[in-house]
Structure 1
Amino acid sequence: MAVTTVTSLFERALGEEWTQLHPEIRERYGLVTDDGRTAIGRGRMTRLSRGAIALPVLWLGTTQNFLFPEGGDDVSFEIRSDAFIDARGYEALTLRRRFETDPVRRFDDTMRWNPERNCITDFFGTDGRIVADIHLSVEDGGLAIRLGDQWIRVGDRYVPFPKPLTADATLQDWYDEYAGRFRVAATVTNPFAGHIFGYQGTFDNDWQKADENRLTNRRLGSIRLPNPSDSSDSPGASR
């Protein structure tokens, strides 16, 4: 039976820690479908970085609007967050990032609550072929996100990433009271390849009426979620 809820995805994942977030972070990440609006962050990345060894993987990511090989300084970007209800009746989020590199690149993902694993599961890219559990915490009023178990999705099957191929990724999103802006920093590394991808920047948040036609990844809300039997050798497996 579908779950009737108006609890935002991030509030559900954080539980009691939710109230420790800065109010601006709570408003932005407390987005639910009933709001009928889209959160739009616009700003500049002071730095986009990528590792030379990982370039083939980054190029492959461009076919799915996932990772990309371009780097640079002072790059304009935009991130749009849309809430929707997934097939299990839980609030979910599609995030679409646009980086004004040459050529312009996108980085999309769709986050869903996974009650069987008691965490958020993230589907990366247009088709959600790369999948990972993500674990949240609050650090000094900001949101911290870390990758857990990771899979390649093949149809309805989840194939765990071999440990040498797993990524260790962290993202921090916080509100700078002095600057009156949001700040974000992300980094992706691998035990053997080292630094793979990263960015850091600042942005302002705005709101607009949600456009149903923009929810391109809503179809990922009906795909089977990984369950505890889909074991993984990733760094987050013991969490």
Structure 2
Amino acid sequence: MTAVYRTALGGDFDNLHPNLQWRYSIDSASGVAQMVSGIMDSVYCSPKLPGPVKSFHRRRHSLAIRSSRLVPFEQGNYCYRDELGRECLAVLRTFGFGPGDQYLNSVLVDDPTGLVDYFGDGPEYLYPITPSVTVDGGLLLETGPMRWTSTVGPNIGLRGLLELSMRYREWWQDDEDRFRCEAVVTNPIIGEVFHYRGWFTAVDRPCTIGDIPDEAWPLRLERRTH
């Protein structure tokens, strides 16, 4: 088995900082999950985003819809092979807002067409992901426009008010001995829709297939990747 980012980056994976190589080397045969904890210095959701859209994303765990600072953050990374034999990395994020936790879940899939990130519990949305390594050994993820994964008919590329693109960067902060990250989702009409940025530490924990939480498995198997 090969970790999804090692497959996607190929030989460039070895140019990642050693701590990022460790972080992204787990796969479905590793027998571990990776548990993250830290603080997001800033979490932001645009007030221009329509209320019904926010409510839908919150229910489907595809967006945190509050804005705040110094937000406690936890994340679990779980690897498995899905029913189609594809290597998957499920990422379950929890933002600890004062009024109550909010969640942002996604599943990265190593597909022959490339790396794809399915967002939410459905999954209703997918991002085609282009990963690269920055000059300081960080990981950069850039997406094409989000697509709607309908259960019938063709997938729909979202445009206009519904068009969303994401940029995620993660790197190692030597002076603080921890990871840092920043994620930004943008729309060509309203600009910045969502962001989170802050720091975290990570540890591996033993994990069997039976230990993987239900939330790591999409409610339905999505075969489509584009």
Q: Report if TM-score (shorter chain) is over 0.5.
A: yes
Q: Which has the higher helix share?
A: 1
Tell me which amino acid in the other structure corresponds to 1:199.
Y
Return closer, same or farther for 1:81/1:215 CA change in 2, 3 Å cut-off: farther
Q: Which AA in structure 1 matches 2:70?
A: D
Distance in 2 (CA, whole Å) between partners of 1:25 and 1:224 is 29
Query: Could you say if the C-alpha distance between residues 29 and 215 of structure 1 is closer, same or farther in structure 2, counting changes exceeding 3 Å?
Result: farther
- Runs of 4+ more than 6 Å apart: none
Once the two structures are superposed, what CA deviation does each residue of 1:200-229 show, in whole Å capped at 9, x if it has no partner?
Answer: 1101101212252415333568421234xx
What is the aligned partner in structure 2 of residue 59 from structure 1?
55
Aligned to 2:43: 48
Counterpart in the other structure of 2:11: 16
Q: Which residue of 1 aligns with 2:103?
A: 106
2:153 aligned with 1:154? no
Contact 1:156 1:224 (8 Å CA) reproduced: no
Q: Distance in 2 between matches of 1:58 and 1:185?
A: 21
Deviation sequence 1:168-226 (CA, Å, 0-9, x none): 21000111111100001011111101111001110110121225241533356842123
Contact 2:124 2:149 in 1 (8 A): yes
Bigger drift between 20-29 and 213-222 goes to: 213-222
Separation (CA, whole Å) in 2 of partners of 1:184 and 1:97: 13
The whole-number CA distance in structure 2 between the counterparts of 1:81 and 1:142 is 18
Q: What's the offset of the Cα at 1:136?
A: 0.3
1:137 to 111, 124, 132: 132
Please give the per-residue CA displacement for 1:74-128, whole angstroms capped at 9, x wherever unaligned. 110101000001233232110000010122100000110121x2x2111101111
Q: Does the CA-based 8 Å contact 2:117-2:129 persist in structure 1? A: yes
**TM-score (ref. length: structure 2):** 0.91
Q: Does structure 2 conserve the Cα–Cα contact (< 8 Å) formed by 1:175 and 1:181?
A: yes
Equivalent position of 2:184 in the other structure: 187
Q: Percent same amino acid at aligned positions? A: 24
Corresponding position of 1:172: 169
Correspondence for 1:218: 217
Distance 2:87 2:115 in 1: 11
- Letter paired with 1:96: L
Cα distance 1:63–1:185, how it changes in 2: closer, same or farther (>3 A)? same
* Structure 1 match to 2:66: 70
Contact 1:94–1:215 at 8 Å: present in 2 too? no
Q: Distance in 2 between matches of 1:114 and 1:107?
A: 22
Question: CA, structure 1 residues 221+39, in 2 after alignment: closer, same or farther (shift >3 Å)?
Answer: farther
CA distance in 2, matches of 1:141, 1:59: 37
Q: What is the deviation of 1:68?
A: 2.4
CA distance in 1: counterparts of 2:168 and 2:215, whole angstroms: 24
Q: Distance in 1 between matches of 2:220 and 2:56?
A: 24
